Amino acid sequence: MCGFRLVQIVGRSCIIQNVRAYQKMSCDTINPHVVKLQYAVRGPIVLRALELEKEISQGSKKRFDKIIRCNIGDCHASGQRPISFIREVLCATTNTQIMDTNLVQDDAKLRARRFLDSCGGSVGVYSQSTGVEVVREDVAQYIEQRDQLSANPQNIFLSNGASEAVKSILQLISTGEDGSRRSGVMVPIPQYPLYSATNAEYNAYQIDYYLDESNGWDLSIEQLEEALNKCKDKCIPRALVVINPGNPTGQLLSKDTITSVLKFAYKHNLVVLADEVYQHNIYAPDTGFTSFKRALHDIRGRISTELQLASFMSCSKGYMGECGLRGGYCELVNFPEDVQQQLYKSLSARLCSSLLGQLTMDVVVNPPKPHEPSYNSFMEEKSSVLEELKQKAELTTKSLNSLQGFSCNPITGAMYAFPRIDLPKKAIEIAKSKGMQPDFMYCLELLEEYGVCVVPGSGFGQVPGTWHFRT
């Protein structure tokens, strides 16, 4: 914006001075991928909930006293109590004077001491970019016990929650060009919007595949093939994201399904991103959690030593729910050495993830053992949280299905329900006349009228013409 300003009128002639205005950034001049990025879990409904909370705290009268936040898997915010053992270790590590008291158990002190010894005596140091070595060793042991397969600490890196690890892998495979060279990333619909947000951020082409609501949100290979076929000319498909147990859909995949998914990925040269952060949240009576790594190994043959797999875990979910501490890890399977080095190099510019997040992850993968003093209380607290989540899952499904116009698949894993709502034709028309998605309008009214904050299905994706919300 160059302009001219009339500065002085002398007789009949004007003295005009060239005035160059400072050009501020605008949404047209900043990174277009940032503008495109959407993240519904923190979208307009949640911002409105924040406003309402402020209004209530300032004395404004509503039909409710407080907002019930069902928008996000934020366990402690929903009243879940932290696991004492985790907090004992954290407090002894941050303030070593606690070690000289009886305020924390000996096994908590032991973990605090071991962690401090491995990082030079203070949580105030930078760790290696991939994380403190003993934590990566403990993660490897945890995976070995879970899968009965060897795991190498060199193939594990620690991150600020699982989100940071997911982003770093998606960044690694995004080639960011338009047209035929652009990377394609297959993402389930409905999905956790971190994936769509990150694909927008790194300009990857998102290939949506639908989960089958009529079949307990199952994942069908036909659907994967169909989705892939549709967009082969728009990108180079490079990765396949699977969330197991599902978010927002709450389903647990069977080992057979996982095996088929892995074979599909192998056939099409895809890297598999297995979001397994809900691996402790299993409510199905007879089925346990099978990791993608275990299923891959059991296929045997070249696929098991070739297919590239990244598995993500977090300390924000499960029985611990320590979202705010930002602990997570990623295990890389069959990644070429040089690519892995490139990834680790890219992590180094952020120096390291939070050391207390790393420590929390350490306690999760190395909990008290049967002979240790905290074992009984730890197991009691853990079971109690998981039992409560299971009851909530059953109650939620039952209540939703008893309501007219609602239908909800059984929740066999994770922490969410994603019920379908049959909206009357008239409601859909009103929403459209207001320029809103019908499920968005429904969620907004639920918030304004009852103070309940849930996220509309459109933020996660849904079959066109169907409406849902996540709670």
Is residue 349 part of the contact set for a copy of itself (CB under 8 A)? yes
CA 417 to chain centre: 16
**Phi and psi for 291 in degrees, rounded to 5?**
-80, 155
Among 197, 207, 262, 431, binds a copy of itself (CB under 8 A): 197
CB of 71 or CB of 409, closer to a copy of itself: 71
CB of 239 or CB of 252, closer to a copy of itself: 239
Nearest to 242 by CA among 194, 188, 289: 188
Contact set for a copy of itself, span 288-307 (CB under 8 A): 302-303, 306-307
Is residue 68 part of the contact set for a copy of itself (CB under 8 A)? no
Contact set for a copy of itself, span 248-287 (CB under 8 A): 266-267, 269, 271
Among 56, 68, 98, 386, binds a copy of itself (CB under 8 A): 98
Instruction: Report yes or no: 163 and 327 within 8 Å, Cβ to Cβ.
Output: no
Among 7, 14, 16, 103, binds a copy of itself (CB under 8 A): 103
Query: Rounded to whole angstroms, how far apart are CA atoms 193 and 177?
Result: 22
Query: Rounded to whole angstroms, how far apart are CA atoms 159 and 46?
Result: 26
**What DSSP designation does 109 have?**
H
Among 63, 338, 426, 435, binds a copy of itself (CB under 8 A): 338
CB of 72 or CB of 430, closer to a copy of itself: 72
Structure tokens at 315: 């300390």
Question: Hey, what amino acid is at 352?
Answer: C
Q: How many chain residues are in contact with a copy of itself, going by CB under 8 A?
A: 103
Is residue 82 part of the contact set for a copy of itself (CB under 8 A)? yes
Query: Rounded to whole angstroms, how far apart are CA atoms 188 and 249?
Result: 10
User: Least distance (Å) from a copy of itself to the CB of residue 402?
Assistant: 31
Is residue 230 part of the contact set for a copy of itself (CB under 8 A)? no
Q: How far is CA 7 from CA 2, 20, 255, in A?
A: 16, 14, 78
CB of 60 or CB of 97, closer to a copy of itself: 97
Among 280, 326, 420, 468, binds a copy of itself (CB under 8 A): 326
CB of 336 or CB of 405, closer to a copy of itself: 336
Query: Where are the extended beta strands (E) located within 233-302?
Result: 236-243, 271-275
Is residue 342 part of the contact set for a copy of itself (CB under 8 A)? yes
Is residue 152 part of the contact set for a copy of itself (CB under 8 A)? no
Is residue 357 part of the contact set for a copy of itself (CB under 8 A)? yes
CB of 197 or CB of 227, closer to a copy of itself: 197
Question: Is residue 209 within a helix (H) or strand (E), and if so which, with residue range?
Answer: strand 205-210
User: Least distance (Å) from a copy of itself to the CB of residue 233?
Assistant: 18
Greatest Cα pair distance, the chain, in angstroms, is 99
Contact set for a copy of itself, span 167-196 (CB under 8 A): 167, 171-176, 193-194
User: Least distance (Å) from a copy of itself to the CB of residue 36?
Assistant: 10
CB of 242 or CB of 325, closer to a copy of itself: 325
User: Least distance (Å) from a copy of itself to the CB of residue 68?
Assistant: 13
- Within 8 A by CB and 6+ apart from 389, the residues are 281, 283, 319, 415
User: Least distance (Å) from a copy of itself to the CB of residue 27?
Assistant: 5
User: Least distance (Å) from a copy of itself to the CB of residue 135?
Assistant: 12
User: Least distance (Å) from a copy of itself to the CB of residue 176?
Assistant: 7
Contact set for a copy of itself, span 38-57 (CB under 8 A): 38-39, 41-42, 50
Among 105, 155, 163, 244, binds a copy of itself (CB under 8 A): 163
Among 154, 223, 260, 334, binds a copy of itself (CB under 8 A): 334
Region near a copy of itself per CB under 8 A, out of 5-13, 86-94, 219-227, 378-386: 86-94
User: Least distance (Å) from a copy of itself to the CB of residue 355?
Assistant: 4
Contact set for a copy of itself, span 397-456 (CB under 8 A): none
Structure tokens at 401: 């299905």
166: left (phi over 0), alpha (psi -120 to 50) or beta: alpha
Is residue 376 part of the contact set for a copy of itself (CB under 8 A)? no
Question: Hey, what amino acid is at 35?
Answer: V
**What DSSP designation does 78 have?**
G
Q: How many CB atoms lie within 10 A of CB 471?
A: 21
Burial of 98 (0-12, 13-18, 19+ CB in 10 A): middle
Is residue 126 part of the contact set for a copy of itself (CB under 8 A)? yes
Q: What is the dihedral of CA 428, 430, 431, 432, to 10 degrees?
A: 90
Query: Rounded to whole angstroms, how far apart are CA atoms 165 and 330?
Result: 6
Query: Rounded to whole angstroms, how far apart are CA atoms 252 and 282?
Result: 8
CB of 119 or CB of 415, closer to a copy of itself: 119
Vertex 221 angle, CA 219 and 225, to 5°: 125
Is residue 343 part of the contact set for a copy of itself (CB under 8 A)? yes
Query: Rounded to whole angstroms, how far apart are CA atoms 234 and 61?
Result: 53
Among 3, 11, 59, 124, binds a copy of itself (CB under 8 A): 124
Structure tokens at 35: 């503008």
Q: Hey, is 319 helix, strand or coil?
A: coil
